[in-house]
Chain A
Amino acid sequence: MTAGSWLCLLAPLGGTILILLCGTRIPRVAAAWIAATSVFVAFGGAIWAFLGVRSTTGHVGELTTAWTWLQSGNFHAGLQLLVDPLSTVMMLIVSGVGGLIVLYSIGYMDGDDEERRYFAYIAFFVFSMLLLVEGGNLLMLLAGWGLVGLSSYLLIGFWHDRPSAVRAAKKAFVMNAFGDATMALAFFILIAHTSSLSFATDFNVHLSSTATNLIALGLLGGAAAKSAQIPLQTWLPDAMEGPTPVSALIHAATMVTAGVYLIARTHPIFEQARTVELIAAGTGALTLLVAGLVALVQTDIKRVIAYSTMSQIGYMFLGAGVGAYSAGMFHLVTHAFFKALLFMTAGLAIHALAGEQDIRKMRGLGRVMPFTKWCFLAGALALVGVPPFSGFFSKDSIVASAAALGTWYGWIFWVCGIAGALLTGLYTFRLWFLVFGAGSAAGKAGDARPGTGSPTAIPGGEPSPFVREHYHRHGRFEGPLTMLVPVGVLAVLATVGGWLQWAPKWHPFTNWLAPAAQTLAAAEPTSTQEYYTSAATVIAGLAGIGLAWAIYSERKLAIPAAPFWRRLLEHKFYFDELYDALFYRPGVSIANGLRREFEEPVVLQTSADIGEVTMETGSLVRRIQTGLLRTYVLFLAGGAAAVVLAFLIAK
C-alpha cells in the first residue's frame, strides 16, 4: 500500500525529470508518450494503494515517513505520505482522469513547437497534485498546494507570446498567492499553539474559539482562492487562455477541487469552527448562483464550461460546508468525469475548427461531428443531473444535506441548490443547442425570424458558413485516436460513474470515506428528504433544459431585453472592475511612485555614485604612475631611507 503511494507520487516526477534531461534529443511525440506513461504508471500505483487500504481492517490507512525534513525546537515536519480512504479516492481521480487527459493532449498538442515543455509541465502538475493529496502533514499539503499553483501559472501562460495568456497566468498566480498567504497564517497560528503540523496533533487539539476560527478562516481563504469561489473567483475564466487539456485537467477535474479536499481533510478543525464551516457553505451557495447566471451570456465555449465548473465547485463547497463530506467528494468524483468530458469534447470542436472558440460561429457542428455531439450530450446530461447519468446521484445528496440541517440557512441553501439546477440546465443546453443542436422543424425551413432577440438570427441545423469553411476532419474520424479514445472512456464514466452510490439505498462511497471524513449527523438527510430533493432538482434541471430548448432551438420564446441585467452579467457582476479599482490601480500607482521617488534617485543613483567615486579615486591615484624612471627611483630610495630610520628609532 505504501509502495503503491510512493510509486504513484514519484512516477510523474520521474517523467518530468526524464523529459527535462532528454531535452531536444528525443522527438516531441516521445516526450508526450513519456508523460502519458508516467501518469498511467501513477494510476497503477494508485490502484495498488487503494487495494492495500481496502484490505486493511477498518480501512484506516497508513502514514509513512521518509525522513524528517524540518526540525526546530519542538517542531518536526517530515516527508510524510498518508494513504487513507480520502487520499486514495483523490489519487485515483487525479492519476486516472489525468492519465486520460494527458493521452488526449498527445493528439491536441501535436505539432506545437514547444510540445516537450508542455508535457514536462503537465507531468510536473500531476506530481504536485498527488503530493497535495498524499501529503501526510499540513506542510506537505502546503508544498503540493504551492506547486500546483506554480504548474497552473506555467501552463496557463504556456503560449507565452500571447499577452492575454501571460496576463491570465499572472492573475491566477497572484490570486492564489493571496489564498496561500491566508493558509500560511493559519498554519502559523497552529504551530504557535501546538508546535506541530501533523494531522494527528492538529485535528485532536482544542484551542480557544478565536484561534480555531482564525485558523478555519485562513484555510477557507486558501480553499476559496484555489477553487475559484467568491470573492476570489475572477482568475478562473481568464485561465481558459491555456490549452484545452490544461483547462480540463487543472481547472476542472483536479486543482480547483483541491479546496474541497482541504475542507474534507481538515474537517475536525472546521467542525470546531462551525460558523466558518457554514460560511464556506454559504460561499458555495452564492458562487453556484452567480456563476450559473454569468454562464448564461458567455460566447466562448470554454468560458461557459469554466463558469459551470465554478458553479459545480460551489455545490461541493456547499456539501462540505454543511458537513456532508462524502457527498461533496462524490460530486468531486463525478464532476471530474463529466467536466473533463465537456472540456475535451469542446477541445475536439476547437481542434477541428482550427482554434475557433466562439459558439456563435460553431452553429450546426453537430451535423458534421456526431461522435462529439453525443459525447457532449452525455456530459451535459450528467452535469444537469438527469438520471441515470452520474451528476444526478451526487448533486442531489448535497442539496438534500442542506435540507437535513433544518435551520433557516439550510432551507436557503436548499433553494439555492434547486435554482442552481435550473440555471445549470439552462446554460448547458443553451450551449448544446447553439453548437450541436439539430434545429427546429420551423428553423429547418430556413426562414430567419426577425425580432427573436437571440444571438444567431439564422436558425436551423445547417452548418454555419464558418463551419463549412474551416472544419477539417482528421482522416476518417473527427480527431486523432489519442483524442477520441479518452473522450469515449469519459463518456462511459460520466454515464455510469454515478452508479457507485445512490444515497437513500446504497452508499458504498460514504462508507468508504467514513474513517477519514465522517458525515456530520446534522447533515444526514432522511430518505424522504432525499426523494423529494431529487425530484425537485430533476424537475428544475429539466425545466432549464426545456427553457433552453424553447429559446435557442425552437425560437418560441425570446430572451427578454433587460439591458441592465444583461450588462451586469456580461461584466461578470463587475468583480474585475472592482478589483481593478481596489487593488490593481493603487498597486500600480504605489509601484510607480516608489520607482520615481526611491528606486531611481536612491538605489540606482547610489550604485552610479559608487562607480563614479571609484573612478575619481582611481584617476587621483593614477598620478603616481608618471612613467618616469626617476620618480620611481626616488620613491624607492625614500622608502628604503624611511625603513632604516624606523629601525634606528625603534632601537
Chain B
Amino acid sequence: MAGPDVAWYVATAAVLFGIGALGVLIRRNTLVVLLSLELMLNAGNLALIALSRHWHNGAGQIFALAVMAVAASEVCVGLGLVVALNRRNLSLDVDTLSELKG
C-alpha cells in the first residue's frame, strides 16, 4: 500500500490521545473539557482505522462507525448539561461545580 507506515498513524493517534487527556485534566472550562474528550475519541478512531487497513480486517472500520455514534450521543448529553448550566446562570468552571464534595 502506498503512504506512510502504520506506525506513523498509531503514533499520531497516541499523541492526539495524550493531548486530549491532558486537556481533560488541566482545562477548567467545561466546553474545552468536552472538546478534549472528543479529541480522545477521535484519536481512538484513527488508531482503529489505521490498524484495520494494516491488517486488512474490516472489523476495525465497523467499530469506528460505532464509536462515532457513541461520541455523537455523548456530545448531545454533554452539551445539554452545558446549556442547562448556562440557563441557571451557573459558572462553567468545573472546579466550582463541587456540591458533591464529601
Q: Are B95 and A628 in contact (CB under 8 A)?
A: yes
| B101 beta carbon closer than 8 Å to chain A | yes
Q: Are A625 and B102 in contact (CB under 8 A)?
A: yes
Q: Are B101 and A634 in contact (CB under 8 A)?
A: no
Cβ of A416 to closest chain B Cβ, rounded Å: 83
Cβ of B45 to closest chain A Cβ, rounded Å: 18
> CA separation between A622 and B102, bound complex, in Å?
6
A626 contacts across to B, CB distance below 8 A: 98, 101-102
Q: Are A630 and B100 in contact (CB under 8 A)?
A: no
Q: Are A630 and B102 in contact (CB under 8 A)?
A: no
Q: Are A628 and B94 in contact (CB under 8 A)?
A: yes
The residues in A between 614 and 630 inclusive whose CB is less than 8 angstroms from any CB of B are 622-630
Interface bracket on A: 10 to 19
Residue of A622, A627, A633 touching B25 (CB-CB under 8 A): A633
> CA separation between A629 and B33, bound complex, in Å?
10
Q: Are B25 and A624 in contact (CB under 8 A)?
A: no
Cβ of B77 to closest chain A Cβ, rounded Å: 15
Identity of the chain A residue whose Cβ is nearest the Cβ of B102 in the assembled complex? A625
| B84 beta carbon closer than 8 Å to chain A | no
Q: Are B98 and A628 in contact (CB under 8 A)?
A: yes
The residues in B between 62 and 94 inclusive whose CB is less than 8 angstroms from any CB of A are 94
Please tell me the number of chain B residues within 8 Å of chain A, measured between CB atoms: 12
> CA separation between A251 and B40, bound complex, in Å?
91
B100 contacts across to A, CB distance below 8 A: 625, 627
Cβ of B10 to closest chain A Cβ, rounded Å: 15
Identity of the chain A residue whose Cβ is nearest the Cβ of B28 in the assembled complex? A630
B7 contacts across to A, CB distance below 8 A: none
B97 contacts across to A, CB distance below 8 A: 627, 629
The residues in A between 594 and 630 inclusive whose CB is less than 8 angstroms from any CB of B are 622-630
> CA separation between A625 and B98, bound complex, in Å?
10
| B48 beta carbon closer than 8 Å to chain A | no
Identity of the chain A residue whose Cβ is nearest the Cβ of B24 in the assembled complex? A633
The residues in B between 1 and 58 inclusive whose CB is less than 8 angstroms from any CB of A are 21, 24-25, 33
> CA separation between A634 and B95, bound complex, in Å?
13
B95 contacts across to A, CB distance below 8 A: 628, 630
> CA separation between A633 and B94, bound complex, in Å?
12
A633 contacts across to B, CB distance below 8 A: 24-25
Cβ of A109 to closest chain B Cβ, rounded Å: 62
A629 contacts across to B, CB distance below 8 A: 33, 94, 97
Given contacts A633-B25, A634-B25, contact A627 B102 (CB under 8 A): yes
| A637 beta carbon closer than 8 Å to chain B | yes
Q: Are B21 and A637 in contact (CB under 8 A)?
A: yes
Cβ of A635 to closest chain B Cβ, rounded Å: 11
Identity of the chain B residue whose Cβ is nearest the Cβ of A628 in the assembled complex? B98
Given contacts A630-B94, A630-B95, contact A625 B25 (CB under 8 A): no
B21 contacts across to A, CB distance below 8 A: 637
> CA separation between A625 and B100, bound complex, in Å?
8
Cβ of A299 to closest chain B Cβ, rounded Å: 73
B102 contacts across to A, CB distance below 8 A: 622-627
Q: Are B101 and A625 in contact (CB under 8 A)?
A: yes
A637 contacts across to B, CB distance below 8 A: 21, 24-25
Cβ of A530 to closest chain B Cβ, rounded Å: 94
Q: Are A627 and B94 in contact (CB under 8 A)?
A: no
A622 contacts across to B, CB distance below 8 A: 102
B33 contacts across to A, CB distance below 8 A: 629
Identity of the chain A residue whose Cβ is nearest the Cβ of B94 in the assembled complex? A629
Identity of the chain B residue whose Cβ is nearest the Cβ of A634 in the assembled complex? B25
Cβ of A296 to closest chain B Cβ, rounded Å: 80
> CA separation between A627 and B102, bound complex, in Å?
7
> CA separation between A629 and B81, bound complex, in Å?
14
> CA separation between A493 and B100, bound complex, in Å?
86
> CA separation between A629 and B102, bound complex, in Å?
13
> CA separation between A633 and B30, bound complex, in Å?
13
Identity of the chain A residue whose Cβ is nearest the Cβ of B99 in the assembled complex? A627
Cβ of A633 to closest chain B Cβ, rounded Å: 6
> CA separation between A626 and B101, bound complex, in Å?
5
A630 contacts across to B, CB distance below 8 A: 25, 94-95
> CA separation between A624 and B101, bound complex, in Å?
9
A634 contacts across to B, CB distance below 8 A: 25
Identity of the chain B residue whose Cβ is nearest the Cβ of A629 in the assembled complex? B94
Identity of the chain B residue whose Cβ is nearest the Cβ of A637 in the assembled complex? B21
Q: Mask for A625-651, Cβ within 8 A of B = 1, else 0? A: 111111001100100000000000000
Cβ of B94 to closest chain A Cβ, rounded Å: 5
Cβ of A393 to closest chain B Cβ, rounded Å: 88
Identity of the chain A residue whose Cβ is nearest the Cβ of B95 in the assembled complex? A628
> CA separation between A335 and B98, bound complex, in Å?
86
> CA separation between A625 and B21, bound complex, in Å?
21
> CA separation between A629 and B94, bound complex, in Å?
6
Identity of the chain B residue whose Cβ is nearest the Cβ of A625 in the assembled complex? B102
> CA separation between A625 and B33, bound complex, in Å?
20
> CA separation between A622 and B100, bound complex, in Å?
11
B99 contacts across to A, CB distance below 8 A: 627
Identity of the chain A residue whose Cβ is nearest the Cβ of B100 in the assembled complex? A627
A623 contacts across to B, CB distance below 8 A: 102
A628 contacts across to B, CB distance below 8 A: 94-95, 98, 101
Cβ of B54 to closest chain A Cβ, rounded Å: 21
Cβ of A626 to closest chain B Cβ, rounded Å: 6
The residues in A between 16 and 32 inclusive whose CB is less than 8 angstroms from any CB of B are none
B94 contacts across to A, CB distance below 8 A: 628-630
> CA separation between A627 and B97, bound complex, in Å?
8
Cβ of A636 to closest chain B Cβ, rounded Å: 9
Cβ of B101 to closest chain A Cβ, rounded Å: 3
Q: Are A627 and B98 in contact (CB under 8 A)?
A: yes
> CA separation between A633 and B97, bound complex, in Å?
14
Q: Given A626-B101, A637-B21, list of 7 further CB < 8 A pairs? A: A625-B102, A626-B102, A627-B98, A627-B99, A627-B101, A630-B95, A633-B25
Q: Which residues of A contact B (CB under 8 A)?
A: 622-630, 633-634, 637
Can you identify 28 A-B contacts, CB atoms within 8 angstroms? A622-B102, A623-B102, A624-B102, A625-B100, A625-B101, A625-B102, A626-B98, A626-B101, A626-B102, A627-B97, A627-B98, A627-B99, A627-B100, A627-B101, A628-B94, A628-B95, A628-B98, A629-B33, A629-B94, A629-B97, A630-B94, A630-B95, A633-B24, A633-B25, A634-B25, A637-B21, A637-B24, A637-B25
5 closest A-B pairs by beta carbon, nearest first, are A625-B102, A627-B101, A627-B98, A622-B102, A629-B94
